[in-house]
Structure 1
């Protein structure tokens, strides 16, 4: 997606034809849908691993089902882009061609409903589900840690390990949710502004709009770094704690 975005910005107008306009419009949003839905799958997988550890035998099957559903849902949500986007010539300067949604929606209200649907599926619903499942994970960790602390038969070294594991899980959880929120919220706010007050939002510099869109794309780059930091960059534990 990014190379085409760069080429489109360099040429200003769309020069790849109507078919590729529709295909690019599909993949332009497909990656974002899939990224959000995969984050939801990871949060649900972590929830079952922590809250229902006895169901680990079904983890592989459950993971495949969730990933298949995530890809299918991302494909379904992106499919309207193929119909909505098309190539239009400028009404006065006919040599100027652009890949737009112009002249498709019957009214501004129809376009607003579609844009709100995209924002809900991209941001509101995934963020709500992620917060719900990770919140349940953190709550379960606190409850298990409290029960372990009350058990006088457990070793002190084990308590220390549980404390470190709990802190690491909570930090990773907060980092994932915060990264999703920070990367996507500015773009969502601008999009909502554009939906409800287009005349004022159009005064915003186009570079700012594109910058916020690219910043939202960074979320897909941040997540692997967060998981890597908390899962592969752990300090070596002292021998006494092992």
Structure 2
């Protein structure tokens, strides 16, 4: 993401102009969607793997071939989601205050409705659904681990301290969850 998202977006925002040419527009948009969705789905796969490792340790065994298959499926799905950008993203001239600026945007949609459907679908499959699944997985892990005692010789004082630490961790988790949800909602609202 750092290679394909930040440099191009930063340059475009700072210069208020697309300086990378006509051919780079769809390629950059493609790689941006691809890298973001691959990252999200890899994190989702890790979260689900952790859930099964903690909550159902004997149920599903992750083998090397199964892990490779998951990664291949992630790349195929992400490529399918991103390939739309190769078709719809183009540069165009934007006139403002007597100056011509180049823009790179999704302008080749047959109708605005198609763009809305794609955007909302992309939001759902790369943000909403993974967020719900990850929250469910980590809440399940938390519930499984919450009342557990540490293995080995434990004493009452250590258990009480561990309980207080768990409560602090839970408060920090909820604060970070709320902040991430607010920043995500702010980003979505800011794009309108």
TM range (shorter): 0.7 to 0.9
Q: Is the 8 A contact 1:41 1:63 kept in 2?
A: no
**1:133 maps onto 2:137 in alignment:** yes
**Paired position in structure 2 for 1:156:** 154
RMSD value over aligned CA atoms? 3.6
**Paired position in structure 2 for 1:187:** 187
- Given the two structures, how large is their TM-score scaled by the length of structure 1? 0.61
- Give 1:28's match in structure 2, choosing from 8, 28, 32: 32
Q: Is the 8 A contact 2:16 2:101 kept in 1?
A: no
**Paired position in structure 2 for 1:118:** 122
**1:97 maps onto 2:102 in alignment:** yes
Bigger relative contact order, structure 1 or 2, given CA contacts below 8 A and separation 6+? 2
Which segments of 5 or more consecutive residues in structure 1 lack a partner in the other structure? 195-242
Q: Is the 8 A contact 2:38 2:75 kept in 1?
A: yes
CA distance in 2, matches of 1:189, 1:123: 14
What SS class does the counterpart of residue 89 from structure 1 fall into?
Answer: strand
How many residues are aligned here? 183
- Given the two structures, how large is their TM-score scaled by the length of structure 2? 0.74
Could you tell me how far 1:125 is from its partner in structure 2? 0.8
Q: Is the strand fraction higher in 1 or 2? A: 2
CA distance in 2, matches of 1:169, 1:72: 37
Q: Is the 8 A contact 2:38 2:74 kept in 1?
A: yes
Could you tell me how far 1:187 is from its partner in structure 2? 1.1
- Give 1:72's match in structure 2, choosing from 55, 71, 76: 76
CA distance in 1, matches of 2:144, 2:56: 10
Which segments of 5 or more consecutive residues in structure 2 lack a partner in the other structure? none
